[in-house]
Amino acid sequence: MRNLPRFVGKRSTDCLFAVILAATTMANAQDWVHTGTNLGAQKIRLAAADFKAVGTDPAVTTAQQTFNQVLYSDLSNAGIFDMVSKSLAPTGTPGSPAEINLAQWSAPPANAAMVAFGAINVQGGRDIVFGWLFDTKNTQSPQVLGQQYNEADTPDTPRHIAHEFADAIISRLGGGINGIAESKIFYVSDRSGKKEIWEMDYDGANQHQITHLGQIALSPRISPDGGRLAFNELSSKGSNIRIFSMSLNRLVTFPVHDGTDFSPAWSPDGNNLAFSSSRTGDPEIWMSSASGFNLRRITAFRGPDVSPVFNPKTGNQIAWISGRTGLPQVYIMDSDGTAIQRMTDGGYATSPSWSPNGQFLAYAWSRHYGPGAPGGQDIYVMDIASHRWIQLTHDIGRTDFPSWSPDGRHIVFQRTTHGHSEIWTMLADGSQQHALTKTGNGRMPNWSWK
Amino acid sequence: MRRFRKNSALAAASLAVFLIVTGCHHKQAAVPEPPPPPPESAPAPTATITASPESFNPGQGVVLTWHTTDATDVAIDGIGKVEPSGTKTVNPTATTTYHLTARGDGGSTDATATVTLNAAPPAPPAPQQLTEADFEQNVKPIFFDYDSYSIRPDAQATITQDASFLQAHPNAKILIAGYCDSRGSEEYNLALGQNRANAAKTALTQAGVDASRIRTISYGKEKQFCTEQNESCWQQNRRSQFTLDQ
């Protein structure tokens, strides 16, 4: 299960490699984009030794397997490490600093600059993990990290502790940016027969249904604190913004107005919602408090205005999509509706997502649009200050709804081929593309804020 | 309603007649008079009966009005014994002849009135009888060009026909749903579909349909009429669909 997202079936694997190669080559050729997230920097060669199972509880074997898989997967997914593959790693499972031979790890074929290792024990209903990160070249004081975890044993605990240790390593070696191993992705799935909102871990694990409305649920947006989920419910009664409380596990009151409301967006302080509303006729961007009051209209121009997203760094700008000049384009404005600036210069551009550091917009774009036009709908990233852009997906079907990870190093998106949609993820340079869902249609992903 | 008022008037008139007649009788009874001589040759009764209207539609009532003189026993076939003069609303289900017999000391007299059932019901059905199927058959969807919510000339012709049907059924509420083809982005298509629904509403309103009867919604590309990937199918999906809003 946990490995599933990393393999998309034998037949498509070759194709996927070709895509990754193409994407990587393209990204390298346009490496003027400096995301400020170490993605472009030389990657640290890191080894993750299998943790040693200690103690006598038979449950430790399963716990150890899960822990080792998840830790390796998290570190690989981080995008800032050149991971030593398990087949090149020295044999043996060093369970403590006394048991590790650093020279073995720094020597070929592993060539590790850093090595993570440790021990896992299940004792008295608790999972106990000791984890270390050592610098293989610093024989005098090699310890970079030493962590201890002691948590009640549940089926999810080994996985949870692996996420915590991985995030500690990523934070230490990745310039202090927190890891995303415990972040969540919200999305629309029709697995239950209806379009409902689902939630999964960042790596595709633990997929579960959140809403059970039996109508059409769209455009999930999780609040910055993770406590409330805003989305759009569409039925013959109308199209309205709904709020689901993650702690109460039910819908909470939000005023329903005449007219069609959709595509909600949270301000980074969690106090305001922007959304598209046709209550005065033409769909415009409106804003309200998080409880739906203090309504005010932000845009006023003929043509559809939709898909707002706040600048998460400052909260005082909004990017959105407008069809005021014909085909939809990406625009930005101050959150009071002034200082409107068009970002894309043509084609068909939709679904903006603003990077956590405020520097970039990811969006879906068909640059050459029209009958017989070359190219398709792909994910692009634009540097807001310079308007320069790079293309992240190439020839993998129609891609849409990019959403940045909280660390700004990853983008989750919707990939549609032959009328079938899946949720995929990639690094923000377009590399390491892989599927997260494989059942039903997965659409409109939204990555949690932390 | 109008018929009801007429009934009341007739009822009031007959009541007044009745009061006058009985009043006279009472007065006569109160004043002692020499006993009248027994009638040697009493006059024969007279009788008339009319029906209004003379032809009726199914479910419609008919008012019978009759008048007799010198009768002591008045009966209408199928109704039974009645007052010497009066009115009564009856609900025949077929063409009927009402036969009145007035008997008195001077003999008996007959009168008849015939009401005829209309063969065909009247043309416009009552608004509450409008079904969804009727509605869909008469109020046709309008279609749009790609990424557009402008009303095309062919759509304007459809709107004119739709509007005349809707004006003939002033009680029908209308739900306009905007739809888009499967290309393009889901959220943008929700906005585009809303604009298509709004454009259809504006066109209907300009053609004389009261805006307060109309509700709009957008399904974007979330519901499709046709799922093939070709222009004829896409065209089917780029529409504003009208349904009876219950």
What DSSP line would sit under A284-348, residue for residue? EEEEEETTS-S-EE----SS-EEEEEE-TTTSSEEEEEE-TTSS-EEEEEETTS-S-EE---SSE
Is the pLDDT assigned to residue A447 strictly greater than 90?
yes
β-pair partners for A442: A189
Residues in chain B within 8 Å Cβ distance of A307: 187-188
Spatial distance between the Cα atoms of A303 and A322, rounded to a whole number of angstroms: 7
Count contacts between A and B (CB, < 8 Å): 87
Give the DSSP per-residue string, chain B: -HHHHHHHHHHHHHHHHHHHHHHHHHHHHHS--PPPPPPSSPPPPEEEEEEESSEE-TT--EEEEEEEES-SEEEETTTEEE-SSEEEEE--SS-EEEEEEEEETTEEEEEEEEEEE-SS--SSPPGGG--HHHHHHHS--EE--TT--PPPHHHHHHHHHHHHHHHHSTT--EEEEEE--SSS-HHHHHHHHHHHHHHHHHHHHHTT--GGGEEEEEEETSS-S--SSSHHHHHHHSEEEEEE--
Contact partners, residue B49, CB within 8 Å, separation at least 6: B64, B65, B66, B67, B76, B98, B100, B111, B112, B113
Quick one: average pLDDT of A421-429?
96
Instruction: Select the residue from A239, A365, A415 to test the B interface by mutation, using most B Cβ atoms within 10 A.
Output: A239
B57–chain A nearest CA distance, Å: 39
In the prediction, which pLDDT does B7 show? 52
Count the alpha carbons within 13 Å of B24 in the hemisphere toward its beta carbon: 5
- The residue written with tokens 């579960």 in the block is A208
The separation between the first and the last C-alpha atoms of chain B, rounded to the nearest angstrom, is: 27
Interchain contact, A400 vs B185, CB within 8 Å: yes
Q: Are B141 and B238 in contact (CB under 8 A)?
A: no
Residue type, A260: T
A377 contacts in chain B (CB < 8 Å)? 185
* CB A34 within 8 Å of CB A127: no
Confidence at residue B54, expressed as pLDDT on a 0 to 100 scale:
84
- Residue B6: count other Cβ atoms within 10 Å of its Cβ: 13
Each residue of A67-109: pLDDT tens digit?
A: 999 999 999 999 999 999 999 999 889 999 999 999 999 999 9
- By the CB < 8 Å criterion, does B63 face chain A? no
How many helices and strands in chain A, by DSSP H and E?
A: 4, 30
Distance, in angstroms, between B126 CA and closest chain A CA? Answer: 26
Weakest-pLDDT range from A107-121, A170-184, A275-289, B86-100: B86-100
Chain A closest-CA separation from residue B152 CA (Å): 17
Work out the minimum CA distance from B239 to partner chain A, whole angstroms.
16
Taking CB atoms and an 8 Å cutoff, what residues of chain A touch B194? Answer: 260, 278, 283, 304
User: Minimal Cα–Cα distance from B173 to chain A, Å?
Assistant: 14
Contacts of B221 in chain A (CB under 8 A): none
For chain A, say whether B191 makes contact (Cβ under 8 Å): yes
Half-sphere exposure of B192 (CA within 13 A, CB side): 31
The CB density around residue B37, as the number of other CB atoms within 10 Å, is 6
Q: Provide the pLDDT confidence category of residue A130 given band limits of 50, 70 and 90.
A: very high
Q: What is the pLDDT of residues B17-62, one digit of tens each?
A: 444 444 445 444 455 566 655 555 678 888 888 888 888 887 778 8
Going along chain A from its start, the domains and CATH numbers come out as 43-173 (3.40.50.10070), 184-447 (2.120.10.30)
Q: Which of A170-174, A210-214, B44-48, B163-167 has the lowest mean pLDDT?
A: B44-48
Best to test chain A binding among B188, B230, B237 (most A CBs inside 10 Å): B188
Q: Which residue is associated with the tokens 């060539």? A: A111
Q: Do residues B205 and B173 touch, judged by C-beta distance below 8 A? A: no
Does the pLDDT at position B204 exceed 80? Answer: yes
Mean pLDDT of chain A: 90
pLDDT for residue B91:
84
> Which residues are bridge partners to B220 per DSSP?
B179
Examine residue B35 and say whether the peptide bond preceding it is cis (omega within 30 degrees of 0): no
What residue ranges define each of the domains in chain B, with the CATH number in brackets?
2-28+44-117 (2.60.40.10), 127-244 (3.30.1330.60)
For tokens 């600036």, the residue is A341
Q: Give the model's pLDDT for residue A36.
A: 58
Distance from CA of A263 to the nearest CA of B (A): 7
Residue A308: pLDDT band with limits 50, 70, 90:
very high
Angle between helices B186-206 and B153-168 (to 10 degrees): 60
Contacts of B198 in chain A (CB under 8 A): 278, 281-282
Query: Quick one: pLDDT at residue A23?
Result: 41
Asked if residue A252 lies in contact with residue A223, where contact means CB atoms within 8 angstroms, the answer is no
The phi and psi torsions of A46 (rounded to 5 degrees) equal -125, 135
CB contact under 8 A, A278 and B216: yes
Element (DSSP H or E) covering residue A60: helix A60-77
- What is the C-alpha separation between A165 and A170, in angstroms, rounded? 9
Amino acid A15: pLDDT: 38
Is A218–B222 a contact, with Cβ atoms under 8 angstroms apart? yes
CB within 8 Å: B216 and A350: no
Quick check: A218 pLDDT over 70?
yes
Does the pLDDT at position A3 exceed 70?
no
pLDDT at A209 over 50: yes
pLDDT at A381 over 50: yes
Q: Rg of the Cα trace of chain A?
A: 23
Contact B191 A306 (CB under 8 A): yes
Count Cα neighbours of B204 within 13 Å in the Cβ-side half-sphere: 31
Q: What is the pLDDT of residue A71?
A: 98
Instruction: From residue B23, give the alpha-carbon distance in Å to each of A240, B15, B26, B70, B82.
Output: 74, 12, 5, 18, 20
Query: Nearest-CA distance from A95 to chain B in Å?
Result: 51
Using a CB–CB cutoff of 8 Å, tell me whether B147 touches chain A.
yes
pLDDT tens readout for residues A280-291? 889 999 999 999
CB B90 within 8 A of CB B103: no
Rounded Cα distance, B83 and A131, in Å: 111
Q: Between A229 and A33, whose confidence is greater? A: A229
Residue with tokens 């709804």: A401
Residues of A in contact with B182 (CB under 8 A): 419
**Interface contact flag, B185 A263, Cβ < 8 Å:** no
Q: What's the pLDDT score for residue A11?
A: 38
Q: What is the DSSP letter of A4?
A: G
- Mutate one of A306, A327, A331, A415 to test the B interface: name it (highest B CB count within 10 A): A306
pLDDT at residue B39 in the model: 52
B121-148 confidence digits (pLDDT tens): 555 555 557 888 999 999 999 999 999 9
> What pLDDT, on the 0 to 100 scale, is given for residue B123?
54
B190: nearest CA partner in chain A: A262
Residue with more model confidence, B87 or A210: A210
In tens, the pLDDT along A6-62 reads: 333 333 333 333 333 334 434 443 444 556 566 666 899 999 999 999 999 999 999
Q: How confident is the model at residue A396 (pLDDT cuts 50, 70, 90)?
A: very high
3-state secondary structure of A102: helix
Strand order in the sheet with A420-427: A398-404, A410-417, A420-427, A434-435
Which residues in chain B touch residue A326, judged by CB atoms under 8 angstroms apart?
Answer: 147
Q: What is the pLDDT of residue B16?
A: 47
Check if the beta carbon of residue B204 is closer than 8 Å to that of residue B159: yes
Query: Quick check: A364 and B191 CB within 8 A?
Result: no
B227 touches chain A (CB under 8 A): yes
A interface toward B at CB cutoff 8 Å?
195, 216, 218-219, 232, 234, 236, 238-239, 259-260, 262-263, 276, 278, 281-283, 303-307, 321, 323, 326-328, 348, 350-351, 364, 377, 400-401, 419, 443-444
Q: How far away is chain A from the Cα of B174, in angstroms, using its nearest Cα?
A: 12
pLDDT at B87: 85
Cβ atoms B71, B8 nearer than 8 A: no
Looking at residue B22, its pLDDT comes to 47
Going by the DSSP 8-state scheme, the letter that residue A195 receives in this structure is B
